[in-house]
Structures are given as structure tokens and as C-alpha cells.
């Protein structure tokens, strides 16, 4: 039984536009920390080696600093690490793996899989890597790599690959999609015994063999990831396979696709929900607000967002469906009269316009309310 650690999609160097500079740095650091965590887990779990199934780097054109930090973190991994070039960091002319920065500082136990020739990791253990040479391959690279392989009887082969399996690919016409059938055939023919996949950021098992897995990204990178922040500890031999997920990630991307917002209670409800989020510094929240608010409540909501966005990793709000309608109560207590009242009436009338003029009028009213408050 061979035990190894299956991971991928580290996406080192990834940036997110909604992060402020400081948060971006935290986010990046977490990904380097994840490497060290994986090293620690590998040691604890007594793994023989680690396979990283593509997209180790977000791009081939990343900063030297990112490469330095990645290699520095990899130094702390106590077992051999096999890095596979994926679609983000293909083994092309600009490959980060061929850069002097990488080559000069690469620790000896870190290996880059540069071709499809089986690599002997240890006695009875081989890795068949399927590296990407370009961003847009025009065929099923796994099928190409496994087709010429002979069945093996005394060796356990781990195929390390990157890309979408045809059974779950969102693009059915993708020529690079990996054929699940062909992969399963290769497994049944003892050409390979485990297909370690990267590209999908959520931990996913595919097919019925129990030998085809996406380990997912060790840190979540987007809202639509179902189960990211994990790695797989794999126990494998020709007869059996056992996988165990281990949590690595610290960041969470939380999206609420509809938050009704009409009353003061709704605002308070949202406030409570936000307050209850754990580890807010590593939480990225996206809210789509739906409803109608008065100027006053809208102002309160804005205040809430200003406050909470200072605490969260990031807060994204979508307010296209949140309508702000000035109400009588917004102006009560200011004692507007005469032409001031008529000004308010005119702007309120304009505010009913669905177009930009309406927005401008609502903004003007909001400003009026703010200034009136200040005047008092």
C-alpha cells in the first residue's frame, strides 16, 4: 500500500480585484501557508510523496517574488513533491518551471513533470505525468499518455493530470476534455491505478472506480467552489484504494444570491448574520440585495456595509435590484416648508424615474436629508 498526498490548483500568485492591498497580501500568504500545512500533513500522515496536479502557479508571468516564496514554502515539505504544469502554468516558452528563478532555487526534492514518460518514484511506484505544453491543447492528453502504456503487474502507477473530465465538463465540445471512459479503461487494464486530477477547485470523486479524484484547491478561490480547501491522502495498491480528505484552507467565499431588504428588521437581520460569520478576516462575502428601502433605511444599510467591510476579508454587494424610494418619513422632523418642501416634492417626483435621472434625484434627496441632519 502506497500513501501519497494528492493536491493541486494552488494558483500561487492569484489576485482578486475585490481585495484591498492588505487583504490581497493576506490572501496570498495564506496560499503559501497552505503549502507548509500540506507538508506538515504529509509528514503526519507519513506520505511517500506529494503530487500537485497542475496550476501550481496562477500564471507563467508571475513575479519572481511569488516564485521565491513558493520555493521557500516547498523547502519545508519533507517529502518528494511532483509538480505538474497545468493550463495556467503550461510548459511553454515562458514556463515558470524553466525560469532561472525557479531552476536556481528549486529544492532537490521538488520535481517538475515535463513529459509523459513514467517516473519511478520508488520501488514499485511510478508516476505518469500528463503536463500541459500550451494553454489550449487540442486533444485528450490523458488518453494520449495512457494509450501507449503497457499494463503493469508489479508496479502501482499514479497518473497525474490536469483538466476537466468529459462527464463534468461545462463545455461538451472541448477537445481537451479527458475521457472518463478511456481513463477507466486504462485503470481496468492496469495501465494506471489512480488518476490524480487538478483543475476543478472542489474536492470531487468522479466515476465508480474510486480511483479518479479531483483534490480541489487547498484554499478557496471563488464563490462557486463547492468543496475547496482540502487535499486528499491516498492509500493505493493494485487491489485497493482509500482516500481521506484533510482540511487545509482558511478562507471562505460566501455568496448570498438573494437578500431581501425592505424593512428595518431586514437590515437588522442582515447585520446579525454578518456578525455571526466566524473568522471574518478570511471571509469574502457577496450579497445580492433585493427590495425597496427608504432613504433613511438605505442610509443605515450603507452605514452597516461601511462598518462590516472594514472587518471582512472583502464584501461585494450587488444592489441593482435594491430600489431606494424616498418616503415621507425620510423628511419628517426636518420641518421643511415653502420652497424647501417644493424642492423635495420635485426631487421625489423625479426619483420615480427608472432611469439615471431617477437615480440622480434619489441621490440628491439623500444628500438633502444628510445635510438637513447636519444643519440640525
Q: Does 64 bind other proteins (CB under 8 A)?
A: yes
Residue in 148, 170, 172, 338 binding other proteins, rule: CB under 8 A: 338
Q: Does 372 bind other proteins (CB under 8 A)?
A: yes
Sheet holding 2-7, edge to edge: 110-112, 81-83, 49-52, 2-7, 230-236, 241-247
**Residue bearing cell 489550449:** 136
Beta-carbon contacts of 251 under 8 Å, excluding residues fewer than 6 positions away, are: 27, 30, 219, 220, 229, 282, 283, 284, 313
Least Å distance, CB 365 to other proteins, is 8
Q: Give the residue from 197, 184, 89 showing the smallest Cα distance to 146.
A: 184
Q: Give the residue from 30, 54, 75, 53 showing the smallest Cα distance to 234.
A: 53
Positive or negative, the CA dihedral 87, 91, 93, 96 is positive
Task: Please choose, out of 229-237, 260-268, 308-316, 337-345, the segment that lies near other proteins by the rule CB under 8 A.
Answer: 337-345
Residue in 78, 175, 210, 335 binding other proteins, rule: CB under 8 A: 335
Residue in 226, 342, 352, 353 binding other proteins, rule: CB under 8 A: 342
Over the window 79 to 118, marking each residue x when it contacts other proteins by CB under 8 A and - when it does not, the resulting string is: -------------xxx-x--xxx-----------------
Least Å distance, CB 202 to other proteins, is 23
Over the window 15 to 44, marking each residue x when it contacts other proteins by CB under 8 A and - when it does not, the resulting string is: x-x-x----x--------------------
Interior CA angle at 188 toward 135 and 239, to 5°?
110
* CB 69, CB 96: distance < 8 Å: no
Q: Does 374 bind other proteins (CB under 8 A)?
A: yes
Under the rule (CB under 8 A), what is the footprint of other proteins? 13, 15, 17, 19, 24, 58-67, 92-94, 96, 99-101, 134, 334-343, 346-347, 359-361, 363-368, 371-372, 374-376
Amino acid at each position: 500500500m502506497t500513501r501519497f498526498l494528492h493536491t493541486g490548483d494552488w494558483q500561487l500568485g492569484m489576485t482578486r480585484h475585490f481585495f484591498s492591498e492588505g487583504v490581497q497580501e493576506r490572501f496570498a500568504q495564506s496560499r503559501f501557508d497552505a503549502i507548509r500545512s500540506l507538508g506538515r500533513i504529509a509528514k503526519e500522515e507519513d506520505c511517500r510523496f506529494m503530487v500537485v496536479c497542475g496550476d501550481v502557479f496562477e500564471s507563467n508571468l508571475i513575479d519572481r517574488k511569488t516564485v521565491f516564496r513558493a520555493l521557500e514554502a516547498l523547502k519545508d515539505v519533507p517529502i518528494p513533491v511532483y509538480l505538474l504544469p497545468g493550463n495556467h502554468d503550461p510548459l511553454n516558452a515562458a514556463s515558470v518551471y524553466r525560469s532561472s528563478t525557479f531552476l536556481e532555487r528549486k529544492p532537490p526534492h521538488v520535481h517538475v513533470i515535463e513529459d509523459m514518460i513514467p517516473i519511478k518514484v520508488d520501488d514499485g511506484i511510478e508516476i505518469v505525468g500528463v503536463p500541459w505544453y500550451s494553454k489550449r491543447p487540442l486533444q485528450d492528453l490523458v488518453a494520449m499518455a495512457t494509450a501507449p502504456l503497457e499494463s503493469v503487474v508489479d508496479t502501482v502507477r499514479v497518473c497525474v493530470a490536469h483538466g476537466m473530465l468529459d462527464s463534468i465538463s461545462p463545455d461538451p465540445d472541448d477537445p481537451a476534455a479527458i475521457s472518463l471512459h478511456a481513463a477507466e479503461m486504462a485503470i481496468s487494464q492496469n495501465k494506471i491505478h489512480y488518476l490524480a486530477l487538478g483543475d476543478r477547485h472542489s474536492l470531487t470523486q468522479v466515476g465508480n472506480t474510486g480511483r479518479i479524484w479531483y483534490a480541489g484547491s487547498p484554499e478557496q478561490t471563488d464563490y462557486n467552489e463547492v468543496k475547496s480547501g482540502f487535499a486528499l491522502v491516498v492509500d493505493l495498491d493494485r487491489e485497493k484504494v482509500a482516500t481521506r480528505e484533510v482540511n487545509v484552507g482558511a478562507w471562505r467565499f460566501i455568496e448570498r444570491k438573494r437578500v431581501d431588504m425592505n424593512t428595518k428588521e431586514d437590515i437588522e437581520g442582515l447585520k446579525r448574520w454578518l456578525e455571526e460569520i466566524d473568522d471574518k478576516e478570511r471571509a469574502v462575502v457577496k450579497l445580492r440585495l433585493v427590495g425597496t428601502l427608504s432613504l433613511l433605511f438605505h442610509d443605515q444599510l450603507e452605514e452597516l456595509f461601511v462598518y462590516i467591510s472594514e472587518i471582512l476579508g472583502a464584501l461585494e454587494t450587488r444592489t441593482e435590484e435594491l430600489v431606494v424610494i424616498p418616503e415621507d418619513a425620510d423628511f419628517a422632523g426636518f420641518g421643511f416648508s415653502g420652497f424647501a418642501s417644493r424642492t423635495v416634492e420635485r426631487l421625489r417626483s423625479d426619483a420615480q424615474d427608472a432611469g439615471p435621472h431617477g437615480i440622480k434625484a434619489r441621490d440628491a434627496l439623500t444628500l438633502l436629508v444628510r445635510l438637513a441632519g447636519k444643519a440640525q
